[in-house]
């Protein structure tokens, strides 16, 4: 560690979660936070103001605004400055999106070599993304760039990659309406950051709001298969019916029923798999429904539904819980409706949506179920998805 008075954190991704959640917790825990990003105006603003404002978008927040101080920025594509930040860091976190982890891995590999040469010891790198095993994935990507045996041994001994679950809704906001600047961010009051304790190397960092667990997979799946699952289904059904935001979509009883039903279905499987108490889990679902309805958060269905190809992946928020239901022979009718709605998601501004639509046109729905969802042809689950897909065609015609 640099010194107990001057702890250094490097956070990749000065976006919504970076500024509104993880970077903020690190700064509030006494770290100087360097944000690495590719957006020059964000980095310039961080280096000009060294602070920014967080507004809590919620009913009666205890503290409506917070000033986050002791922050700066570095361009992620400036190898010299970034390398120095990696060498100086006591902790590194990311919130860049799962697809970008592969890109930052090269710089992290170079930084790890530089740390070894500088005689630095323990470092933990925590990827805070909506993805199961994001830090392990980053570790594998970094290892692809580490060829020197000494570096490999050093990484094994000194660099930890604890996986985590991150939960806080941080949508893009109208920064002018918040009375702020380009760095201003609006967040819901709720947050949960749960990190895999056994994977840390060296002393555990003390970070306000970070909870440690030795059963991380259970918490990642609980969050991904409940909050993100329900959120995605709301977004895809909402888009199909012509709604703009999550809260508008949930005022539609038809949508609300499917979303709630899907979360109960995934919940039954999660309780079987991980031993959560079902009554407690139902309360968790109700709290999430309340968070989705937060009138102060205008979350665009296009943001929540972004990148449907990723969201339709076999371990992700829609297919993942459906497979879990299949494993325990539990019903999954609402989940397949959600999958079908995602397969209908036709937004020309979203590259992955265009890709999915083209695949369906070129190869047919059944092949897409096999290739993307990895459901066997002729299986009951594929039949249910196709049936729901055809039912939703009618819904599409009665757009509001």
Ligand X SMILES: O=P(O)(O)OC[C@H]1O[C@](O)(CO)[C@@H](O)[C@@H]1O
Instruction: Report the site for ligand X in 344-383 (rule: CB under 6 A).
Output: none
Instruction: Report the site for ligand X in 217-246 (rule: CB under 6 A).
Output: 228, 231
394 by DSSP, 3-state: which? helix
Instruction: Report the site for ligand X in 91-150 (rule: CB under 6 A).
Output: 130
Asked if 306 is part of the footprint of ligand X (rule: CB under 6 A), the reply reads yes
Residue 342 interacting partner from ligand NAI, ligand X, none (CB closer than 5 to 8 Å by kind): none
By CB under 6 A, name the one of 39, 114, 354, 395 that touches ligand NAI. 39
Q: How many other C-beta atoms lie within 10 A of the C-beta of residue 206?
A: 9
Q: Which is nearer to ligand NAI, 92 or 263 (CB)?
A: 92
Q: Which stretch binds ligand NAI (CB under 6 A): 36-44, 175-183, 290-298, 316-324?
A: 36-44
Asked if 330 is part of the footprint of ligand X (rule: CB under 6 A), the reply reads no
Q: How many other C-beta atoms lie within 10 A of the C-beta of residue 280?
A: 9
Tokens of residue 135, six digits: 């830090």
Which positions ≥6 away from 234 have C-beta within 8 Å? 246, 249, 250, 255, 259, 292, 301, 304
Tokens of residue 98, six digits: 């799962």
Asked if 309 is part of the footprint of ligand X (rule: CB under 6 A), the reply reads no
By CB under 6 A, name the one of 25, 169, 210, 269 that touches ligand X. 169
Contacts with ligand X: how many residues (CB under 6 A)?
A: 8
Strand partners, 92: 10, 125
Q: Which is nearer to ligand X, 116 or 306 (CB)?
A: 306
Q: Which is nearer to ligand X, 290 or 363 (CB)?
A: 290
Q: Which stretch binds ligand NAI (CB under 6 A): 15-23, 229-237, 287-295, 352-360?
A: 15-23
Asked if 125 is part of the footprint of ligand NAI (rule: CB under 6 A), the reply reads no
CA 396 – CA 400 distance, rounded (Å): 9
Residues 71-110, mask of contacts with ligand NAI (x by CB under 6 A): -----x------------------xxxx-x--xx------
CB of 207 to ligand NAI, least distance (A): 17
CA 219 – CA 354 distance, rounded (Å): 32
**Residue (of 47, 398, 110, 41) closest to 254 by Cα position:** 398
Residue of minimal Cβ distance to ligand NAI: 15
Asked if 180 is part of the footprint of ligand NAI (rule: CB under 6 A), the reply reads no
CB of 136 to ligand X, least distance (A): 17
CA 390 – CA 313 distance, rounded (Å): 21
Residue 231 interacting partner from ligand X, ligand NAI, none (CB closer than 5 to 8 Å by kind): ligand X
Tell the burial category of 359 from Cβ atoms under 10 Å away from its Cβ (0-12, 13-18, 19+).
middle
Q: Which is nearer to ligand X, 115 or 311 (CB)?
A: 311
CB of 101 to ligand NAI, least distance (A): 9
Tell the burial category of 398 from Cβ atoms under 10 Å away from its Cβ (0-12, 13-18, 19+).
exposed
CA 129 – CA 396 distance, rounded (Å): 32
CA 123 – CA 255 distance, rounded (Å): 45
CB of 240 to ligand X, least distance (A): 17
**Residue (of 290, 300, 240, 298) closest to 263 by Cα position:** 290
Q: How many other C-beta atoms lie within 10 A of the C-beta of residue 193?
A: 20
Per CB under 6 A, residues contacting ligand X are: 130, 167, 169, 228, 231, 304, 306-307
């Amino acid at each position: 560690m640099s010194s107990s008075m001057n702890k250094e954190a490097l956070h990749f991704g000065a976006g919504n979660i970076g500024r509104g959640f993880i970077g903020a917790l690190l700064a509030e825990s006494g770290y100087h936070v360097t944000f690495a990003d590719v957006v020059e105006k964000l980095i310039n603003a961080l280096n000009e103001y060294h602070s920014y404002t967080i507004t809590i978008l919620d009913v009666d927040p205890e503290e409506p605004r917070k000033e986050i101080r002791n922050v700066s920025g570095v361009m992620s594509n400036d190898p010299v400055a970034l390398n120095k930040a990696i060498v100086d860091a006591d902790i590194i976190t990311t919130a860049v999106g799962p697809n970008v982890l592969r890109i930052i891995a090269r710089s992290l590999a170079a930084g790890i070599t530089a740390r070894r040469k500088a005689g630095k010891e323990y470092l933990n790198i925590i990827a805070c993304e909506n993805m199961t095993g994001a830090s392990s994935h980053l570790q594998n990507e970094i290892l692809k760039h580490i060829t020197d045996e000494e570096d490999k041994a050093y990484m094994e001994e000194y660099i930890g990659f604890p996986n985590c679950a991150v939960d806080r809704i941080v949508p893009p906001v109208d920064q002018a309406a918040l009375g702020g600047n380009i760095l201003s961010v609006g967040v819901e009051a709720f947050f949960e950051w749960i990190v895999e304790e056994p994977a840390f190397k060296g002393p555990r960092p003390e970070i306000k709001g970070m909870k440690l667990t030795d059963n991380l997979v259970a918490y990642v799946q609980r969050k991904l298969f409940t909050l993100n699952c329900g959120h995605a289904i709301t977004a895809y059904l909402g888009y199909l019916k012509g709604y703009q935001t999550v809260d508008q979509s949930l005022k539609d009883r038809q949508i609300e029923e499917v979303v709630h039903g899907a979360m109960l279905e995934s919940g039954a499987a999660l309780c079987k798999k991980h031993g959560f108490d079902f009554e407690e889990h139902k309360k968790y679902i109700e709290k999430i429904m309340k968070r989705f309805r937060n009138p102060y958060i205008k979350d665009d269905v296009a943001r929540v539904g972004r990148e449907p190809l990723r969201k339709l992946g076999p371990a992700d928020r829609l297919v993942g819980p459906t497979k879990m239901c299949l494993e325990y022979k539990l019903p999954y009718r609402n989940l397949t409706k959600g999958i079908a709605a995602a397969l209908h998601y036709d937004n020309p501004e979203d590259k992955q949506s265009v890709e999915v639509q083209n695949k369906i046109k070129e190869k047919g729905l059944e092949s897409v179920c096999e290739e993307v969802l990895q459901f066997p042809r002729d299986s009951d689950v594929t039949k249910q998805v196709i049936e729901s897909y055809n039912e939703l065609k009618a819904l599409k015609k009665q757009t509001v």
